[in-house]
Structure 1
């Protein structure tokens, strides 16, 4: 089964501003360069209930999908990913018990469920016990059978930039983009 919106590879680039975290999500061209804008996301900082809305462009006139915490001020909250009409299309959650030494997230959508871990245990430990600002970290998400659902690779740069690869056609672009932005926003990158 192929997702309603399947994109095999895209980029997420964070823009730094004073009051909000902003993200551009762009298509990856076949040559690896950045292509068309797929979505523009904005997250208010210091919100009591985490919520990120994705728009078709920076004018923010047309919301196309988003994610929102199920509970307020709960470190163990799950996040529902919804389409432009508010209908659920996926879910993700940080697994705090499993994340003590290596961050772990659960991701779910129609026809699949899996876990994502930081690829490197060493980088995970360094992130927790040092203040290296440009530390690269990567997440791989596998289903229960061990198949790769998606991966998010942080590139070495002044601003956070990620390459997101989605080899599993069951994973909707909107869920993958929400998870990729969630990794950055929820881990306070």
Structure 2
């Protein structure tokens, strides 16, 4: 896919499919009528990896990498994840804010020449229920990511048997690959 086509996307759908030893993610464009469009990205994440690394491909053949993210350290409660393009060049990073995440999960996203973007769960009651009652981890949630007080993007987990997310992008210059990495990471890393 041409980078300009990806960068023009204002909304994505992310679907997780659970397999035996991996989580599988499909990122789809959204058609003008709101229906799910073509596949933009595909990822598989091994469960229980000590040093998290995820490669996201352009499709499910897994022949052409689009981007990847990798933890800088093993088992770090406030881990930083570097996001790189298909050639290994840096796109940006994201990191969990451990202290703020005790009540509501909070993430920071950084990209060159953009202000820091901070995302946090919108609902404190839902955040608390998910923390204290592990069986309620299926509850939908809503993350708002802002830069300088302005909306940058949002990730909304929908009701359903499988995890589904709607990603809405408001900031025109944020790299869509960085947004895709953060959306996949919210599912893959949220409970860690």
Superposed displacement of residue 133, structure 1? 4.5
| Aligned counterparts of 1:111 and 1:185: Cα–Cα separation in 2 | 27
Aligned counterparts, 1:94-105, within 5 A: 94-105=96-107
User: If the length of structure 1 is used for normalisation, what is the TM-score?
Assistant: 0.94
Deviations 1:66-117 (A, max 9, x none): 1110112212210011000000001100000111111100011122212100
Where does 1:71-86 land on structure 2 (aligned, <5 Å)?
71-86=73-88
RMSD over aligned Cα atoms: 1.5
Unaligned runs of 5+ in 2: none
Q: Figure out how many residues of one structure are paired with residues of the other and give that number.
A: 186
Q: Is the 8 A contact 1:110 1:170 kept in 2?
A: no
1:139 corresponding residue in structure 2? 143
**Could you say which residue in structure 2 is the equivalent of 1:171?**
174
The equivalences for 1:18-37 within 5 A come to: 18-37=20-39
Q: Return the offset for 1:134.
A: 2.9
Length-normalised TM-score, structure 2: 0.93
Larger CA deviation: 13-22 vs 133-142: 133-142
1:117 aligns to 2:112 (yes or no)? no
Residue aligning to 2:165: 162
SS of equivalent to 1:48: coil
Structure 1 residues 186 and 133, CA gap change in structure 2 (3 angstroms): closer
Cα distance in structure 2, aligned partners of 1:139 and 1:29: 23
Once residues 133 and 91 of structure 1 are traced to their aligned partners in structure 2, the CA distance between those partners, rounded to angstroms, is 26
| Distance in 1 separating the partners of 2:185 and 2:77 | 13
Equivalents in 1 of 2:40, 2:111: separation in Å?
20
Residue 180 of structure 1 deviates from its aligned partner by 0.4
> How far is 1:42 from its partner?
1.0
Q: Show CA shifts across 1:111-156 (max 9, x none).
A: 221210001111111111122243110100001x201111000110
Which has the higher relative contact order, 1 or 2, with Cα contacts under 8 A spaced 6 or more apart? Answer: 1
